[in-house]
Amino acid sequence: MENIYKRINSRAKELEKDTANFLMDMIRVPSFSCKEKDVIQVIKKEMEKAGFDEVRIDGLGSVIGRIGSGKRVIAFDAHIDTVYPGEMSLWNFDPFTPKIEDGKVWGRGSVDQEGGMASMVCAGKMIKELNLNNDFTIYFTGTVMEEDCDGLCWQYIINEEKIKPELVVITEPTNMNIYRGHRGRMEILVSVKGLSCHGSAPERGDNAIYKISRISLEIEKLNERLITDEFLGKGTVCVTQVFFNSPSQCAVPDAASIQLDRRLTFGETKESAVAEVLEACKLAGYHDAKVEVLKYEEKAYTGLVYPTNKYYPTWKLPEDSVYLKDSVFVYKNLFDKEPIVDKWTFSTNGVAIAGMNGIPCIGLGPGNEIYAHAPNEACPVEHLSQAAAFYAGLIAKLNNK
């Protein structure tokens, strides 16, 4: 067993430059949510070059590579859409002109999350070359629209493609640690009505901004009393956007609303979160406030609209999971040290895979999540080969190689 891990490590290191070059090929092609078509073609070509048994694109636009045809099914997932670069003056270089410098690949998407995609394809190549798989059908998914709507891509894969693995390895950045869960989230809109009148006589109207402001203060108090899970931490809620409607700048507003970012810890649900916000509205004195979970219905680059509520459930893999034990075993044999087992701060496609469908997930990915969505994003080159070695090593372990 030790010998196979040495072989995997050695081959991953030999392929490190190719893996980094593939990552830079992806970075050169901007791939914002709903605009991923071109980068999907780059990935498809690389999978075919690596000798995958099948490569196809699903109806939502995700690329799905397959190796093997065993009765058991496992998947590795990387979302390949990125956020926009933001304020360009904060970057020290063009975010879409990647470079290798100081042992890192620099560029938008290097950490979040095309680095994981590069390592996955390298792992697939090694699995084929070293004959590591007999028992599994292995899917490698480069998924779309995650930055806009976590898990929508996997709702489609599970419901429409009918792919339901026994385990999914999420390759979001973990700084090469093993992650086993994260909080869920919701996007909630709270709306109130008022009565407009001329601003010169505000007592004639009913100011909707004052009403929504009082509700906002109750939301601030609500955040302080939300429950805590010993592993995932505390649930949170905050006001992130404010909207209003008014006939003019010199009129009392007749409608106002706030958008809430609600992070859900273990034990919290969509229903419990909505009930808490309704109670906060009542504490502010407004029993008629409207509370609704927002809906996502943007068009994929394929033209498909696949609507979903913006409720992304919490999940965590149990500490006694055999998949977690296997992952720790592989990590120790590859890297000769104990892994840190932790959780993500943000949410991932695991909200649909594990949260909605109960499919076990574990996470390990190149790069540190603190650089996700940040300027001057960069991923250590050595992380790319290490992650690839872990993915291939896990397949070897599950096949009892």
Active site residue 81: yes
Residue 45, judged by CB atoms within 10 A of its CB (0-12, 13-18, 19+), counts as middle
Q: Which one is catalytic: 16, 18, 58, 81?
A: 81
Question: Where does 97-205 show beta strands of DSSP type E?
Answer: 99-101, 104-106, 136-143, 167-170, 178-179, 181-182, 184-193
Tokens representing 332 are 């120790």
Question: Residue 357 CA to chain centroid, in angstroms?
Answer: 16
* Torsion of the alpha carbons at 52, 58, 61 and 67, rounded to the nearest 10: -20
Please choose, from the candidates 63, 36, 22, 87, the residue with its C-alpha nearest in 3D space to the C-alpha of residue 373: 87
CB neighbours of residue 371 within 10 Å: 18
d(CA 15, CA 314): 36
d(CA 30, CA 388): 24
Q: Which one is catalytic: 46, 146, 147, 218?
A: 146
In whole angstroms, how far apart are CA 350 and each of 70, 172, 315, 364? 24, 10, 7, 13
Q: Peptide bond before 249: cis, by omega within 30 degrees of 0?
A: no
Instruction: Name the 3-class secondary structure at 338.
Output: coil
Q: Residue 324 is inside which H or E element, if any?
A: helix 322-335
d(CA 143, CA 364): 17
In whole angstroms, how far apart are CA 48 and each of 51, 54, 109, 123, 170? 5, 8, 22, 14, 22
Active site residue 279: no
Tokens representing 245 are 């409607």
Please choose, from the candidates 26, 54, 116, the residue with its C-alpha nearest in 3D space to the C-alpha of residue 79: 116
- Which residues are identified as catalytic? 81, 146
